[in-house]
Amino acid sequence: MKSLKFILITLFTISLISCKKEATNENKLKDSLTAKKDSVAVKETHQEYYGIYMGDFAGKEMIVPEVGEEYEGDVYKKIALKINRITKDSVYGQSIVNGNQRPFRGVFNESTKSFVLDEPGNDKTDGRFEVNLTNDSLTGKWNAFNKSAVKAPSKTLKLVKKVFVYNPNFMLDENSDLIDWENPKDFVEKYTNEDTGKTETYTQSKNRIASDAVFKINASKQKLAEKDIKNLRKLDLQIIKNSVFARHGYAFKKATYRNFFEQTDWYIPVSDNVDNELSSVEKDNVALLNRFIKYAEDKYDSFGR
């Protein structure tokens, strides 16, 4: 009986050792394959060209003036091209226009220092960039894949390399235009006709206007209290809140905020989601501002453009 027990224990031990050897051999094979894979990893080149290039994105569109007939004119937008990776065969990055972030892939011609970069093509705004690199500048053109789907199917680019830095001290330029041109509202006004003495009405379009408070209150540095913001206009509160996101490089889809922050020399859109980048003070302030924005009122005035 003891002999049988000894035989069974011996067989179990041999089986266990065999399994361990197989596992060890399998792990060695995996390590070998991983090492082989790493050894043939695609080499990156020209990392000195990596970064964000920002500037004007210009094209001709039909413009409808407040008075007169529509006409074809130049429309300027801001664009950011982010070059993330360059290899011998490919270039990878993304474009950001109007808060719309699109990936691109293309090639770099080393002899001419030029890029051909294609967006995916599954969005009506996608197209091809053909740009030349001179020092820290990119210049060239963009052509839409679907020319009938966009207002300006051909645009030119003049971009300069920028370095994104988060700085809680960044504020709007005090010479900024504080008018929200994107959301006009019609108001019915009354006046008294001097000849007839009758009161008559007319409709006038007005725009929201912010106050100088947006140059003084910084929601990235100071912990705000209700007394600090309770008398502010809605647009003031919205600008102070969105300054937090602008400092972190948020790519605004709403033209109202883009128009304000593009007037600065520090705003660089780098991402369509920066929620995880906010400090605890910023998160608390954004929550407080949202509470007041919900019930605040705006001030409107009439302006010419």
Do 247 and 210 share a structural domain? yes
Q: Is 98 exposed, middle or buried (0-12, 13-18, 19+ CB in 10 A)?
A: middle
pLDDT at 7: 47
Same domain, 133 and 204: no
What does the buried/exposed string (b/e) look like for 223-245 if buried means 16 or more CB atoms within 10 Å of the residue's CB?
ebeeebbeebbbbbbbbbbbbbb
* 150 and 95 belong to one structural domain: yes
Number of domains into which the chain is organized: 2
Phi/psi for 209 (5° steps) reads -135, 140
Nearest CA among 58, 63, 115 for reference residue 91:
115
SS3 149: coil
Last residue of a domain, one of 110, 132, 162: 162
Domain assignment present for residue 170? The answer is no
Decide if 24 is inside a domain. Answer: no
Task: Give the CA count within 13 Å in the CB-facing half-sphere of 261.
Answer: 28
Residue 150 sits in the same domain as residue 208 = no
User: Is 40 contained in some domain?
Assistant: no
Q: Say whether both 136 and 189 belong to one domain.
A: no
Cα distances (angstroms) measured from residue 92 to each of 57, 110, 155, 176, 245: 20, 16, 21, 35, 26
Residue 183 and residue 135 share a domain: no
3 domain residue, yes or no: no
Q: The CATH number of the domain where 101 resides is what?
A: 2.40.128.20
Instruction: Give the model's pLDDT for residue 67.
Output: 74
d(CA 298, CA 234): 5
Residue 158 and residue 53 share a domain = yes
Question: Is the residue at 15 inside a domain?
Answer: no
Asked whether residue 184 falls in the same domain as residue 291, the answer is yes
Together in a domain, 213 and 253: yes
Which residue, of 137, 162, 187, is where some domain finishes?
A: 162
Bridge partners (DSSP) listed for residue 133: 138
**Same-domain pairing of 145 and 190:** no
Can you spell out the DSSP letters for 53-89? EEEEEEEEEEE--SSS--EEEEEEEEEEEEEEEEBSS
State the helix-helix crossing angle for 234-247 and 280-293, rounded to 10 degrees: 160
Query: What pLDDT score was predicted for residue 64?
Result: 79
In this structure, are 189 and 297 located in the same domain?
Answer: yes
Cα torsion angle, 103, 109, 110, 114, sign: negative
Domain presence at residue 77: yes
Domain boundary (133, 162, 191) is at: 162
Mark the ranges of the chain whose per-residue pLDDT is less than 70. 1-40, 304-305
In a domain, 172, yes or no: no
User: Position 199: which residue type?
Assistant: T
Is the residue at 18 inside a domain?
no
Q: Note whether 56 and 154 are same-domain residues.
A: yes
Domain range for residue 61? Answer: 47-162
